[in-house]
Amino acid sequence: MSSAPPLLPAGFGDLEPFVSRWAVDGTARRAALRSASTVAEREAFFAAAGPRLDDALASLDAKAFAAYSPADQRLMDLMLSLAHVALAVEIQGPDEVRSAPWRDRMRIDRSTADEGVRPCSN
């Protein structure tokens, strides 16, 4: 049986279980996912991916964005989602649930990470 191409670059297999949920393109979609996820999902993702930030960015920094493989892009999107989730878990903690509806009212219109990303009306 031939194996499917890996979801993430070599060495990041431990993060594969998080790809389908968190490897999302577009800053607005990542912000919306933060609000739509559960406390448990955010905590599990932060616990697993937080300690891998340095390795992931070191691996990605070696390449230009245009040279990213689909696996690289997923790893990048995963780390960008981690930025949002880290704020929820590490900073906001118990305030996260209360502030989410207000945050969702602040529509993200554009970001530098959105280059070439399909638009999102959040």
Give the interface with other proteins as residue ranges (CB under 8 A).
Answer: 27, 30-31, 50, 53-54, 56-57, 60-61, 64-65, 76, 79-80, 83-84, 86-87, 90-93, 95, 99, 102-103, 105-113, 115
Closest CA to 49 of 7, 93, 6, 85: 85
| Least distance in angstroms from the C-beta of 3 to other proteins | 26
Task: Pick between residue 5 and residue 101 the one whose CB is nearest to other proteins.
Answer: 101
What is the Cα–Cα distance from 102 to 97, expressed in whole angstroms?
A: 10
| Secondary structure of residue 89 in the 3-state scheme | helix
| Least distance in angstroms from the C-beta of 18 to other proteins | 16
At 79, the amino acid letter reads M
